[in-house]
Amino acid sequence: MIKEAYNTSIKNMQVMDEDSNVDISLIPKDLDDKKLIEMYKFMNLGRAVSNKLLALQRLGKVATFAPLNGEEAVQVGSAYAMDKNDYIVPIYRTHLSLIVRGVPLKSLFTAVKGYEEAYSSISDYHTTPEIIVVGSQFTHAAGIAYGLKYRKIGNAVIVYGGDGSTSEGDFYEAINFAGVFNLPVIFMIENNEWAISVPRSRQSAAETLAQKGVAAGIKSIQVDGNDVLAVYKATKDALESIKQNGKPVLIEALTYRMGMHTTSDDPTKYRPEEDVDAWQKKDPIKRLQRYLISKKIWNDEMEQSMIEENKELVNQAAKDIESVKSEPEKMFDNVYSFIPETLQEEKDEAVKNNFWQ
Amino acid sequence: MVNLMLANMVTALNNALDLCLNESSDIIVLGEDVGKDGGVFRVTDGLIKKYGPDRIVDTPLAESSIIGTSIGMAIAGMHPFPEIQFGGFSYIGFDQLAAHAARYRSRTMGNIQIPMVVRMPVSGGVRTLEHHSESPEALFSHIGGLIVVEPSTPYDAKGLLIKAAHSKDPILFLEPTKLYRLFKQEIPDGMYEVPIGKANLAKEGDDLTIITYGTMAREVQKTVEENNISADVLDLRTINPIDESAILKSVKKTGRALIVHEASLSFGVGAEISARIGEKCLYDLKSPVMRVGGFSFPYPFSGDEDYWVPNRNKVLYYIKKLMDS
C-alpha cells in the first residue's frame, strides 16, 4: 500500500534524441524552418555572450558572472515559445531568456559590470531584473500571474529556477499559491545537476523534481533540457493548457552546468572532469545543428557568417559598456519616490566635502 | 610554550573550527557548500576529510531550514555551527533567528538553551553580485537574545570563535568578507579565547574616541596613523551585548566621540552608541557625538560600492569636524 501511495508517474519528454533523430509527430506545427534557424542562432548568441563575459571578467572589465554554457536549449526553447507580452522572471543564469525577449546585450553587459542602469527600462520587456536570492523569484512570478489574471490580461508568466531552488521554502509556497488560485504561470526548473558544489541528489530524495508539483496539484512534466524542440513543445503545451483551464504548469528540464557556478567558483574542487566530458556529447547546440543540416536548411557558409555576426554583436556590447561608469550622486534618486530631507543632507554633504574623490 | 602560526582570517577561522570540532563531538558544521567545496571562501576547507560528512554537512539549498534545524539540533543536545553563505541570504532564515533562536531561553525560563554559532560573511568591497555585501549586525542586535560578534583581525576571529564554541547562547558570528585575506597576523596555533562583550582598545590617544568594528576598524586605524591623530580607537568585536563601560571610559577621557561603521547610517549601531553616550556622559563631551556610516539605503550594485562604503576621506572629514566643533 505504501509503495502504491508513493508512486507518482512523471512523463519524460524528448522530441530530438542525442543523435538528432527527431520524432516528427511531436514537433509543434508552428515551428517552421525560419523559427528553427532563429532558435539555433539565439542558442549560439547565448554561448557567445557567455564566453565573452567570462573573458571580460578574467580581464577585470566586468564583475562576478554566472555562465550559461550547456543550458542554451532550456532558455531559448522556453523563452522563444512565450508571447512577447508574457512575463519572464529570470535568475542570475538565465541571461539568454532575456536576450530572446529582446533585452539589449548592452543592458546585460552593464548588469555584469555592476550598474543599475542595466535595468532602467527592464519592464518594457515584460521582465524583471535577474533575481539572485535563490527561490524568491517563484513567489514574485505567482504574484505577477495573479495580477495578470486579476486585470484580465490574457498573458502568462514563466519563472526560472535551478534544482537547488526547489529546496527553498519560497518554491513550495509559490507553487502552492499558484495551484490554489489557478494562476497562469509556468515554473521552469532548469535542473543542471549542481547547486555550486552540491549535487542534485543532495537537494531532494524525490525521484524527480517535477513530482513536487503534483503535491501542489499542478500539472508537471520532465523534458530533456538539451533538446530545444522538447523544451519548446513543453512550453507551448503549457501555455495551451493554461489557456484552456487557467492552471499553472511545472516543467523540469534536465540539463547540465558545463562551466563554473560563477566566475568565483572552481568546479574541479568537487566534480570530476569526466562527468563534464560525458555531457559534451549531449551539447544542445550541436544537437540542433545536426538536425538543421540534415534538413538541408543550414550549411557551413551560414554557420560562418553567423559566427562573425555574433562576434560583432558581443564585441559591440563590450565596447558599449566601456563608457558606463559611476555617477554616485544618482544612487540617491530612486531610493523612494521622493528624496527625504535627511537623505538629501547625506547626499549634499558627500558632494560638498568630496567624499568621493 | 605557545607556538605561533602566520594566519589570515580564513586560516584562523579554519584552525578554530578544527580545534573546536576536535574538542567536542557535539559540534557539527552545516550549510551550503561547506563540505567538499570547503565553503565558498574556503573557511571549512579540509574539515570534511578529517571529520567526515556526518559532521561537515552539505545541506539542501534552504537557509530557513539550515537555521531552523540547527535550533532543533541544539534542543537535542548538540552544538551546531550553521553557515549562511552570505549575510544577504540570512533574511530567508530571519524568522528562525528572531522568533525562535532569540526566544527559546526566555520562554522556557532557561530550561531550553540554544547553543548555536551561525557564521556568515558580511559587508562589501569585493565586487560581488547583489545581496553578497550587506551589513546586517544592527538588525540582529535589535532583536535581543542573540549575541552578535564581528571580528576584524585573524587573532580575534579565532579567539572569538573558540569562545563562541564554549558558550551556551545563540551567537551570530559575522565575518567581514573583505578582511578574509586582506592581511596576516601571528597567532597562537592552539586553543585560546577572546572574551565576548569586550571591546579592544586598538589604539590609544588623547583627542577623541573612535568606536568602530568590522571592515571599518582597519580603515579607521589607517586614517588615524596617516594623519597623526591622537585617538583612542575602540574595536568593538562584539556588537551585542555592547561594551558600554569601555566606550564611556574612553569618551570621558577624550571628551569627543565618533562612531564609524560600514552599515547604513540611519537606525544603526552608531545611533545606539550615540544615545548611550548622550544618556550617560553628556557633560563630559566637548562636542556633539558624530557618526559615519554607509548611506541610508540598500547596498548598490558593485560598480558604485566604493562610493557607498565610507572611505578614509569621509572618516577624516568627520574627525576634523568633530575636533573643530
Contacts of B129 in chain A (CB under 8 A): 63-64, 92, 132, 262
CA distance A321 to chain B (A): 12
Assess whether A261 and A190 both reside in one domain. yes
Q: What angle do CA A48, A51, A57 make, to 5 degrees?
A: 135
Domain count, chain B: 2
A95 is catalytic: no
Q: How far apart are CA B164 and CA A9, in angstroms?
A: 49
Q: pLDDT tens digit string along A75-89?
A: 999 999 999 999 999
* pLDDT classification of A357: cutoffs 50, 70, 90: confident
Q: What pLDDT is attached to residue A4?
A: 57
Q: What pLDDT is attached to residue A9?
A: 78
Assess whether A142 and A208 both reside in one domain. yes
Residue B206 sits in a domain whose CATH number is 3.40.50.920
Q: Which of B37, B307, B310 sits opposite A326 (nearest CB)?
A: B307
Q: pLDDT tens digit string along B34-66?
A: 999 999 999 999 999 999 999 999 999 999 999
Assess whether B280 and B166 both reside in one domain. no
Contacts of A198 in chain B (CB under 8 A): 32-33, 58-61
Q: What pLDDT is attached to residue A202?
A: 97
Q: pLDDT tens digit string along A271-323?
A: 999 999 999 999 999 999 999 999 999 999 999 999 999 999 999 999 999 99
Q: Do the Cβ atoms of B314 and A265 come within 8 Å?
A: no
- Mean pLDDT, residues B260-269 taken together: 98
Assess whether B143 and B166 both reside in one domain. yes
Q: What pLDDT is attached to residue B2?
A: 86
Burial B87-102 (b: 16+ CB within 10 A, else e): bbbbbbbbebbbebbb
Assess whether B162 and B273 both reside in one domain. no
Q: How far apart are CA A14 and CA A227, in angstroms?
A: 7
Q: pLDDT tens digit string along A161-173?
A: 999 999 999 999 9
- Mean pLDDT, residues A237-250 taken together: 96
Report the complex ipTM: 0.94
Q: Do the Cβ atoms of A202 and B301 come within 8 Å?
A: no
Q: What pLDDT is attached to residue A118?
A: 97
**pLDDT > 90: what percent of chain A?**
96
Q: What pLDDT is attached to residue B245?
A: 98
* pLDDT classification of A8: cutoffs 50, 70, 90: low
Catalytic annotation, pick one of B132, B142, B166, B261: B132
Assess whether A346 and A249 both reside in one domain. no
Assess whether B274 and B217 both reside in one domain. yes
Contacts of B295 in chain A (CB under 8 A): 331-332, 343, 346-347, 350
The last residue of one of the domains, among B158, B188, B218, is B188
Asked if the model's pLDDT at residue A6 lies above 80, the reply is: no
Helix or strand or coil: residue B58? strand
Q: Do the Cβ atoms of B300 and A204 come within 8 Å?
A: no
Q: Do the Cβ atoms of B304 and A115 come within 8 Å?
A: yes
Burial B117-151 (b: 16+ CB within 10 A, else e): bbbbbbbbbbbbbbbbbbbbbbbbbebebbbbbbb
- Mean pLDDT, residues A218-229 taken together: 97
Query: What are φ and ψ of residue A39, in 5° steps?
Result: -65, -40
Q: What pLDDT is attached to residue A2?
A: 54
Asked if the model's pLDDT at residue A3 lies above 60, the reply is: no
CB B140 within 8 A of CB B194: no
In the structure grid, which three cell numbers stand for residue B166, read together? Answer: 564554549
Assess whether B8 and B85 both reside in one domain. yes
Q: Is A5 within the bounds of a domain?
A: no
Catalytic annotation, pick one of A6, A150, A202, A270: A270
Q: How far apart are CA A287 and CA A282, in angstroms?
A: 7
Domain count, chain A: 2
Assess whether A344 and A207 both reside in one domain. no
Q: Which of B37, B301, B307 sits opposite A356 (nearest CB)?
A: B307
CB B294 within 8 A of CB B262: yes
Q: Is A266 within the bounds of a domain?
A: yes
Q: pLDDT tens digit string along A140-161?
A: 999 999 999 999 999 999 999 9
* Cβ pairs bridging A and B (under 8 Å): 131
Beta-bridge partners for A159 = A89, A187
Q: Which of A134, A270, A346 sits opposite B36 (nearest CB)?
A: A270
CA distance A154 to chain B (A): 33
First to last CA, chain B: 51
Assess whether A310 and A343 both reside in one domain. no
Q: DSSP code of B98? A: I
In the structure grid, which three cell numbers stand for residue B46, read together? Answer: 579540509
Range of the domain at A337: 327-357
CA distance A191 to chain B (A): 14
- Mean pLDDT, residues B111-126 taken together: 97
Which of A185, A187, A188 has its CA nearest to residue A246? A185
Q: pLDDT tens digit string along A167-220?
A: 999 999 999 999 999 999 999 999 999 999 999 999 999 999 999 999 999 999
Q: Do the Cβ atoms of A164 and B61 come within 8 Å?
A: yes
